[in-house]
Amino acid sequence: MLFKQQAWLRQKLLVLGSLAVGSLLYLVARVGSLDRLQPICPAEGRLGSTHGQAELPLRALQFKRGLLHEFRKGNSSKEQVRLHDLVQQLPKAIIIGVRKGGTRALLEMLNLHPAVVKASQEIHFFDNDENYAKGIEWYRKKMPFSYPQQITIEKSPAYFITEEVPERIYKMNASIKLLVIVREPTTRAISDYTQVLEGKERKNKTYHKFEKLAIDPSTCEVNTKYKAVRTSIYTKHLERWLKYFPIEQFHVVDGDRLITEPLPELQLVEKFLNLPPRISQYNLYFNATRGFYCLRFNIIFNKCLAGSKGRIHPEVDPSVITKLRKFFHPFNQKFYQITGRTLNWP
Ligand code: A3P
């Protein structure tokens, strides 16, 4: 009898113990996620249109991730949208390029900030004549739902190199903030080539070697007609943008540093966007298998970028690399001078 009672008591204690541990874990998870979401500061004085608005209520922030995800998937009624004051806002900041600079990583990492909402797809509104002809309302409707106090950011890397884009963006919003993420120009050109090469291989097509495209065989000089080379002459493109926007409206992100040390780069962007600093080391963890930093939103949800980001580059003849680096050098110097950001590229 006594033995039976002891067994019953042991079982009860076990159940109670599990419940206590479960509750504790739940609380830790909740505090963790609330901690991530809670500290958004009053948006007053930040990014123009948020001026004078009240603090984003905690309730709304708690809902933010899950709810916005549902809206993105289309699992929501108009009533819900109205109820939560959700709107589709034109971007207050655009990642205009550069292709293969780390534009996706930058967008995804900025989206860790509770006041930022990303447009998931590249919209190609300003660089594609057909899309542009559809008008600004079409563009706005492509934007994700967000709370009025949040800012929307989109990225379309082709904007940086497309002739018509600066004027078109200027016409939409002359005071927009422009983010340009760059990598060492030769590495970027090889990354660009690698992406095209992979596309060809997927279609069972052959493609030239990088060396053959980057160097003009008739002159043995750098082939400036090759798009991957031209895109890496950052200063040439930037100069076109400067006809419309003052340099203060641009922020240069070091794409090489975003790979190895993302947090300080993101903190500089937070500052540029006048956002309270909310992205922390907690949000970024190094994944040894991927060889890159991945994103942690909370104790439950984390993600790495797709496998198409971080491809293995083909080996390139060192003499071609040296030639390209020498070629880019004067353009890089000019770029540092204009932007005020020195990147110590070779
Ligand atoms: P590689 O594929 O050459 O390594 P974009 O998004 O503009 O196309 O840029 C792609 C580049 O982002 C990749 O180039 C990769 O190096 C870089 N990148 C930066 N941070 C990354 C991250 N956390 N995960 C994966 N790729 C990242």
**Any known ligand binding at 17?**
no
H or E element that contains 116? strand 116-118
**Any known ligand binding at 73?**
no
The pair of three-digit structure tokens given for residue 61, joined into one six-digit string: 């922030």
Q: Is 292 in the pocket of ligand 1 (CB under 6 A)?
A: yes
Q: What is the pLDDT of residue 205?
A: 94
Spell out the residues 6+ positions from residue 93 whose beta carbon is closer than 8 angstroms to its own. 151, 153, 176, 177, 178, 179, 273
Distance CA 34, CA 220 (A): 60
Q: Is 272 in the pocket of ligand 1 (CB under 6 A)?
A: no
Q: Where are the beta strands (DSSP E) in 265-305?
A: 284-287, 292-296, 302-303
Q: How far is the CA of 17 from the centre of ligand 1 (A)?
A: 46
User: Is the Cα dihedral 109, 111, 116, 119 positive or negative?
Assistant: positive
Q: Given the DSSP bridges, would you call strands 93-97 and 151-155 parallel, antiparallel or unpaired?
A: parallel
Q: Given the DSSP bridges, would you call strands 93-97 and 177-182 parallel, antiparallel or unpaired?
A: parallel
Is residue 100 among the annotated active site residues?
Answer: yes
pLDDT averaged over consecutive 10-residue blocks of the chain (346 residues)? 58 57 43 35 34 41 56 64 84 98 98 96 97 98 95 98 98 98 98 97 95 96 98 98 98 98 98 97 97 96 95 97 98 98 95
pTM: 0.83
**Any known ligand binding at 101?**
yes
Q: How far is the CA of 266 from the centre of ligand 1 (A)?
A: 15
Distances from the Cα of 99 to the Cα of 105, 170, 274, angstroms: 12, 21, 25
In a 10 Å sphere around its CB, with 0-12 CB exposed, 13-18 middle and 19+ buried, how is residue 13 labelled?
exposed
Phi, psi (rounded to 5 degrees) for 179: -105, 130
Query: Which SS3 state, helix, strand or coil, does residue 93 take?
Result: strand
Distances from the Cα of 155 to the Cα of 55, 97, 152, 180, 195, angstroms: 27, 7, 10, 10, 18
Report the largest interatomic distance among the alpha carbons of the chain, rounded to a whole angstrom: 100
Q: Is 293 in the pocket of ligand 1 (CB under 6 A)?
A: yes
Q: Is 197 in the pocket of ligand 1 (CB under 6 A)?
A: no
Count of Cβ atoms closer than 10 Å to residue 115 Cβ: 25
What's the one-letter identity of residue 260? Answer: T
Q: How far is the CA of 104 from the centre of ligand 1 (A)?
A: 7
Distance CA 336, CA 346 (A): 13
Q: Is 183 in the pocket of ligand 1 (CB under 6 A)?
A: no
To test the pocket of ligand 1, the residue of 100, 108, 182, 311 to mutate (highest count of ligand atoms within 8 Å of its CB) is 100
H or E element that contains 181? strand 177-182
Q: How far is the CA of 146 from the centre of ligand 1 (A)?
A: 27
Counting atoms of ligand 1 from 1, which one is nearest the CA of 313?
A: 3
**Any known ligand binding at 92?**
no
Q: What is the pLDDT of residue 84?
A: 73
Spell out the residues 6+ positions from residue 223 whose beta carbon is closer than 8 angstroms to its own. 213, 214, 215, 216, 229
Q: Is 310 in the pocket of ligand 1 (CB under 6 A)?
A: yes
Q: How far is the CA of 102 from the centre of ligand 1 (A)?
A: 5
